[in-house]
Structures are given as structure tokens and as C-alpha cells.
Amino acid sequence: MGFIDKVVLYLLGKPQAGWIDLKREKLTKFDFLYRLTTSKAALVKVMVIPGETTYYVYKLLEKKLKIKHINCGFEEGFLKPDTYFLPIGMKKRRICKYLKQKSLIYHKQISKKIFGKFEYDKYKKYLIIASIIQKEAANVDEMKKISSVIYNRLKKHMKLQMDGSLNYGKYSHMKITPKRIKSDSSRFNTYKYYGLPKEPVCIPSREAIIAAIFPDKTKYLYFVKCGKRHLFAVTYKQHLRNIKKCK
């Protein structure tokens, strides 16, 4: 780079910080200087899917952005499910700040629209319920019914006994077995402990959050997976018949 190059670069504009996509590998010097100032950042697509855990989102960010040990300190369920386009070379601190801002705006909008205010400590209860709904429901249409079962069992002081609550953190994609139910002593194990877990299980969708706030009015206490849907029951006897029917 000579003096003339610096003048040309000054006239063209400021080079961008971080990684940029020059589109080609072989360029004339002037074309290279021009693209330094006009090319867009090299972006990666990161999809945060409802039902996924923050643990796996961090792993995805590390892989896509080629950064080690990302941990923004977010509580489970806080991240907004969305498709993000992040520039390669973005620092960890900025990634966390960006995701936090997006997610906070998202939750504030939902809470203020329904409750007129945003109090995270109270709102968190719905995130916990929504996260279990997200893991359990076979489709969006079932979410409010699943929600009603959760509330009905809590009201009757019954254990929730839901497999989805054990799909937390690194166990997000693991099949829940009788052995796992017996060995897991965390508060996520709704077979061992009464009430809700202390934290959300995963990142819930907007639909799951709405279902947690506005459950259907039913007397259902049980449900069983049957093909691509669930069969719901009020009594244990009816629940057993549903299980037999599915088998």
C-alpha cells in the first residue's frame, strides 16, 4: 500500500471492521480497495428453533461463528426463537448483547400486550409452563389442552410426570427411559418432585407462551401420544383405555 492507495481509500470511504465478503479471490488493486469499503459483512444464518435448549444454541453459535466457549449467561427460555444473521468475526460480548436486546424486546412485547406491564419474575412462571408445553405438544393446536393438564394436575397437587421436563440442557434430544427417570435427581424430574421445575426446560415459542397464559378450560389430567397427536383423558381408567387403543 502506497501513499496514492491511502488517498484512494480515503476518498472511497472507511473500510469495515470484521469479516467481509469480497465475492472473488482475484482482484485488481483498485477493485480490492473499492470492495473493502463497499462489501457487506460475511454473514452466517443461525436458527434458534422453539423447543431447543440454550446449551445447544451456544454450541451452534460456536460452530457457525468459529468461536470457542460462548456462554452469555442467559436463563433457559429467555432467547427469542428466530432466524439470526450474524457477521463472522463478531465478538462474543457483542453477540450476547445483540441476542439479549432482541430477546428482551420480544418478551416485553408479549407481556405488555397481555398484562400491561413486564415483570420478569412473574412472567418466568409462564415461560416454565410454556417450555414444558413446547416439549410435550405434538402440534400448536394441542398446546392449550396440554396447558390445561399442567394446571389441573398442579391444582390437585399431582406430580406432572412429563417426559419433556427431562429434555433440559444437554439432554434436549435424548429419549427418556425408565432408567433416566430413576437416576435423574434434578428439579427438572417431574416424576420425583411435585410442582414446576425452577427453570424453563427449553426455548418456548410464542404460541406456547400464549397457551401457558390462556389454557383451555378442561378437566383433563392425562394424555398419551398416539401417532401424530395425543389422546386426552379425565380419569386414569380412561387413560389406560387410550394407551391400549394406541398400542
Task: Name the more confident of 4 and 235.
Answer: 235
Tell me, what's the pLDDT at 40?
76
* Banded pLDDT at 33 (limits 50, 70, 90): confident
Residues 83-130 have pLDDT tens digits of 999 988 888 999 999 999 999 999 999 999 999 999 999 999 999 999
Per-residue pLDDT at 9 exceeds 90? no
Residues of the chain with pLDDT > 70, as a percent, come to 99
Phi, psi of 174 (to 5 degrees): -90, 140
Residues 67-77 have pLDDT tens digits of 999 999 999 99
Tell me, what's the pLDDT at 17?
66
Tell me, what's the pLDDT at 94?
92
* Banded pLDDT at 18 (limits 50, 70, 90): low
Residues 197-237 have pLDDT tens digits of 999 999 999 999 999 999 999 999 999 999 999 999 999 99
Measure the CA–CA gap between 39 and 30, rounded to whole angstroms. Answer: 14
pTM score above 0.75:
yes
Residues 129-181 have pLDDT tens digits of 999 999 999 999 999 999 999 999 999 999 999 999 999 999 999 999 999 99
Residues 43-59 have pLDDT tens digits of 899 999 999 999 999 99
